[in-house]
C-alpha cells in the first residue's frame, strides 16, 4: 500500500495530505484540486479585512514540496474506476491508487427562478472577488438566503456602507443552525445596522435591476447574491457506484462501501451511533475528519467522534456552537460580560452549548463546555446558570468524581 490519492484540495483534502505524513506514511501522496490556487481557507472570504477579500492560504508551495505532497493545481478528477483503482484527470492524465480520499466538498445550491443566472454564488475565492469588486458604496445588494453565509456577507457589506436586503423564505433568519435565542439577537443587530429583511418570501423572478418577491413586490438590487445553501459534491462518488444520499455515505471510520475509498469534510455523510448519517458543514469538522481519514487511509480503524462545532462572526459579535442544540433540550442560560452562554441538557446530560459575545469572548467557555460534554457530566442547572461558578472548577470536580 504505497499510493494515496486525495481528490479535492480544500480544508479536508489538504489537511489529510499533511496528516498522512504526520502519521509516518512514506508512500506517494497526490492532491488533486480543481481551483487554480494553492489551497486556501474559505471562512476568511466572508470576513474580509478592511473591506478587502483575504486569500488565506492553508499552506505554501514549499510546505507541500517539503512534505513530499504532489499537488495537481487546477486539475479535476473526472472519473474513478474502483476496480482498476485508477482516476482519470482533466489534463488527460491518470493516477493509480491503493487508497483514495474523496474530499470534494460542496457546491452552491442553484436558484430555479427566471433570471437566476444574474445571481452570484459565494463559495470560492473567485466568487468573493466577483462580489466585492462590484459591491462598491452606492450599490445595492440583495442577498437571497438568511443563513450563516448570507448574514456574514450582509454584515461585511453594511460595514462598507452598502445598502443590503436579505430575502429569506422562512419567517426568521438563521433558523437552521443557530439556537433561536442567538438567531434573534443577531437578527436584531442586523436590523439596527440597517439591513432590510424580507422574510417569509420566495423569489418570483430576478430582473435587471431587482429581485421580485413571491408577493410581487420588487426589491431593488444592482447585485444579487444567492446564499441558499450548498449540496455535497457527489458526482464522482455517484458515477463510481458508491452509495450517496445527502452526502457520500461512510461508516463511522469514514470508509465508503469500497474499503479503499474514504470520504471526509463537507461531502461526507458519516454513520452515527444512534443510526442514520450526518453531514456537517464546518471548517473544524473538515479538519477533524481529515485527520481521522488520514490515519485510516494509512491502515488505522479509528472511529470519528468529534463534537460538532462551528463559529460565525457578524459585526463585532462572535457566535460559537458546540454539539447539536435541539428545541426539545432543556436550555440553561448564563450571563457573561458582554455576552451570554446557553447550555443544552438532554435527560440531565450536557449535550450542547452556544455562546454569543463580543469578538472571541465566548471561546474559552465554549471550549470548557466541550470538555464538560466529553466528560459526560450531568450538571445541576442552577450551577450552570450561575456566572459565579467557574466552568474550569466544574470540569475539575467532574473529572475527580
- Which residues are at the interface with ligand FAD (CB under 6 A)? 7-13, 32-35, 42-43, 45-46, 76-77, 103-106, 122-123, 149, 233, 236, 265-266, 281-284, 286, 310-312
How far apart are CB 37 and ligand FAD at their closest, in Å?
Answer: 9
User: Which of residues 93 and 220 has its CB atom nearest to ligand FAD in the complex?
Assistant: 93
- Locate cell 440597517: which residue? 194
Give a three-class secondary structure readout of the chain: CCEEEEECCCHHHHHHHHHHHHCCCCCEEEEEECCCCCCECCHHHHCCECCECCCCECCCHHHHHHCCEEEEECCCEEEEECCCCEEEECCCCEEECCEEEECCCEEECCCCCCCHHHEECCCCHHHHHHHHHHCCCCCEEEEECCCHHHHHHHHHHHHCCCEEEEEECCCCCCCCCCCHHHHHHHHHHHHHCCCEEEECCCEEEECCCEEEECCCCEEECCEEEECCCEEECCHHHHHCCCCECCCEEECCCCECCCCCEEECHHHEEEECCCCCEECCCCHHHHHHHHHHHHHHHCCCCCCCCCCCEEEEEECCEEEEEEECCCCCCEEEEEEECCEEEEEEEECCEEEEEEEEEECCCCHHHHHHHHHHHHCCCCCCHHHHHCCCCCHHHHHHHHHHC
Q: Measured between alpha carbons, how far is 299 from 294 in angstroms, rounded to an integer?
A: 9
32 or 394: CB nearest ligand FAD = 32
Q: Which of residues 95 and 377 has its CB atom nearest to ligand FAD in the complex?
A: 95
Minimum CB–partner distance for residue 147 and ligand FAD (Å): 11
- Closest separation in Å from C-beta 108 to ligand FAD: 9
Residue 186 neighbours by CB under 8 Å, 6+ apart: 151, 173, 174, 178, 314, 317, 319, 356
Taking the complex as a whole, the smallest distance from the CB of residue 78 to ligand FAD amounts, in Å, to 7
CB of 15 to ligand FAD, least distance (A): 8
Query: 226 or 312: whose CB is closer to ligand FAD?
Result: 312
CB closer to ligand FAD, 104 vs 140: 104
Q: Give 247 or 379: the residue with its C-beta nearer to ligand FAD.
A: 247
Instruction: Tell the smallest beta-carbon distance from residue 38 to ligand FAD (Å).
Output: 11
- The smaller minimum CB distance to ligand FAD, of residues 19 and 210, is found at 19
CB of 377 to ligand FAD, least distance (A): 25
CB 91, min distance to ligand FAD, A: 11
Nearer Cβ to ligand FAD, position 285 or 331? 285
Nearer to ligand FAD, 317 or 345 (CB): 317
Smallest distance, ligand FAD to C-beta of residue 310, A: 4
Amino acid at each position: 500500500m504505497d499510493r494515496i490519492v486525495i481528490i479535492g484540495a480544500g480544508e479536508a483534502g489538504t489537511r489529510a495530505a499533511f496528516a498522512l505524513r504526520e502519521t509516518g506514511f512514506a508512500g506517494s501522496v497526490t492532491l488533486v484540486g480543481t481551483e487554480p490556487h494553492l489551497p486556501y481557507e474559505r471562512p476568511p472570504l466572508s470576513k474580509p479585512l478592511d473591506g478587502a477579500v483575504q486569500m488565506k492560504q492553508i499552506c505554501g508551495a514549499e510546505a507541500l514540496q517539503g512534505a513530499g505532497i504532489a499537488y495537481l493545481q487546477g486539475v479535476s478528477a473526472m472519473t474513478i474506476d474502483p476496480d482498476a483503482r485508477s482516476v482519470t484527470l482533466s489534463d488527460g492524465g491518470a493516477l493509480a491508487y491503493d487508497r483514495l480520499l474523496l474530499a470534494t466538498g460542496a457546491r452552491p445550491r442553484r436558484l430555479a427562478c427566471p433570471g437566476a443566472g444574474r445571481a452570484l454564488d459565494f463559495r470560492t475565492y473567485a466568487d468573493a472577488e466577483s462580489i466585492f469588486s462590484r459591491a462598491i458604496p452606492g450599490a445595492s445588494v440583495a442577498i437571497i438566503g438568511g443563513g450563516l453565509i448570507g448574514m456574514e456577507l450582509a454584515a461585511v457589506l453594511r460595514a462598507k456602507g452598502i445598502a443590503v436586503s436579505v430575502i429569506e423564505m422562512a419567517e426568521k433568519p438563521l433558523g437552521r443552525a443557530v439556537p433561536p435565542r442567538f438567531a434573534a439577537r443577531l437578527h436584531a443587530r442586523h436590523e439596527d445596522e440597517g439591513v432590510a429583511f424580507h422574510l417569509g418570501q420566495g423569489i418570483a423572478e430576478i430582473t435587471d435591476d431587482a429581485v421580485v418577491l413571491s408577493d410581487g413586490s420588487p426589491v431593488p438590487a444592482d447585485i444579487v447574491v444567492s446564499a441558499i445553501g450548498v449540496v455535497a459534491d457527489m458526482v464522482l462518488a455517484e458515477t463510481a457506484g458508491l452509495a450517496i444520499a445527502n452526502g457520500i455515505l461512510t461508516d463511522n471510520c469514514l470508509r465508503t462501501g469500497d474499503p479503499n475509498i474514504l470520504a471526509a469534510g463537507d461531502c461526507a455523510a458519516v454513520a452515527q451511533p444512534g443510526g442514520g448519517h450526518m453531514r456537517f458543514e464546518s471548517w473544524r469538522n473538515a479538519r477533524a475528519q481529515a485527520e481521522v481519514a488520514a490515519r485510516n487511509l494509512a491502515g488505522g480503524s479509528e472511529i470519528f467522534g468529534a463534537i460538532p462545532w462551528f463559529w460565525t462572526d457578524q459585526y463585532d459579535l462572535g457566535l460559537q456552537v458546540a454539539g447539536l442544540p435541539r428545541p426539545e433540550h432543556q436550555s440553561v442560560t448564563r450571563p457573561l460580560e458582554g455576552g451570554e452562554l446557553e447550555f443544552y441538557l438532554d435527560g440531565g446530560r450536557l449535550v450542547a452549548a452556544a455562546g454569543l459575545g463580543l469578538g472571541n469572548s465566548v471561546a474559552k467557555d465554549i471550549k470548557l463546555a466541550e470538555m464538560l460534554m466529553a466528560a459526560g457530566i450531568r450538571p445541576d442547572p442552577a450551577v450552570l446558570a450561575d456566572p459565579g461558578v467557574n466552568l474550569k472548577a466544574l470540569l475539575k470536580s467532574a473529572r475527580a468524581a
